[in-house]
Structure 1
Amino acid sequence: MSRAMPRVLVVELGGPDPRAVALGRVLRDEGMEVVHAGPLDTTEQVLRIAEQEDPDAVGVLGGELRATLKDVRVFYLDAPADPASGVFETPEEAAEWLRGGRSHTSGTPSDRVR
């Protein structure tokens, strides 16, 4: 990712999905800038918003993109998870994947607790 603070576009395909808010919060807590596009109906709408927002990654809930985004990492929040293909079951797993390693917040107490 090219920015100091990676920008992630969160999209809900086909209708509202309450997991989008949870995903946005986790990504924000991990130091990422989150743009929540809300519920969209078509892949074309996602492509137009991605052009305008210039994200480093796009998180998709409730569907699958039928097009590719050049130089943008795309991931999905769905079950069953398949991290090798960018499908995650929890927002924390997606954040860890975007960071390129283990998240500092998942499963580890803060330094103040230790």
Structure 2
Amino acid sequence: MSRDRLRVLVVEFTRPDPAAIALGRVLRDEGVEVVHAGPLDTAEQILRTAEQEDPDAVGVLGAAPPEDLESALGGALVFTAETASDTLKRLGGGRSHTADAPSDRTR
């Protein structure tokens, strides 16, 4: 299945992280389709959610993602808030011009 827009799953791993909402808004403002899964407690939950949502990338906030998560996802990139801009550039060919800035709604 081919999509017109990137699809990103945003997960709060092991603990809630308010930055997940802000990141989701920034991604949305960039034209990315965002699925916010909310807090998930295990890597297994992230994998099952990713299987259902079929994302191009998975943003993990709250705690560091498990080291083997990217390989277990089978092709989807895994990123954190710190690496979101670089990941968007990799996925979208450098389109992002505001990924480093918070959404207007969070300023």
For the criterion TM > 0.5, the same-fold answer is yes
| Structure 1 alignment gaps of length 5 or more | 79-87, 108-114
Task: List, as ranges, runs of 4+ consecutive aligned residues in structure 1 with deviation greater than 4 Å.
Answer: 91-94
Deviations 1:46-95 (A, max 9, x none): 000000111111001122134321021111224xxxxxxxxx2xx55554
Q: CA RMSD in A?
A: 2.1
Distance 1:59 1:18, change over 3 A: same
Task: Name the % identity.
Answer: 61
Written as runs of structure 1 = structure 2, the 5 A alignment for 1:89-108 is 91-101=84-94, 103-105=96-98
TM-score by length of 2: 0.76
Structure-to-structure mapping, 1:1-114, within 5 angstroms? 2-61=2-61, 62-65=63-66, 66-67=68-69, 68-78=72-82, 88=83, 91-101=84-94, 103-105=96-98
Unaligned runs of 5+ in 2: 101-107
TM-score scaled to structure 1, two decimals?
0.72
> The residue matched to 2:38 in structure 1 has which SS?
strand
What is the CA-CA distance between 1:38 and the residue it aligns to? 0.4
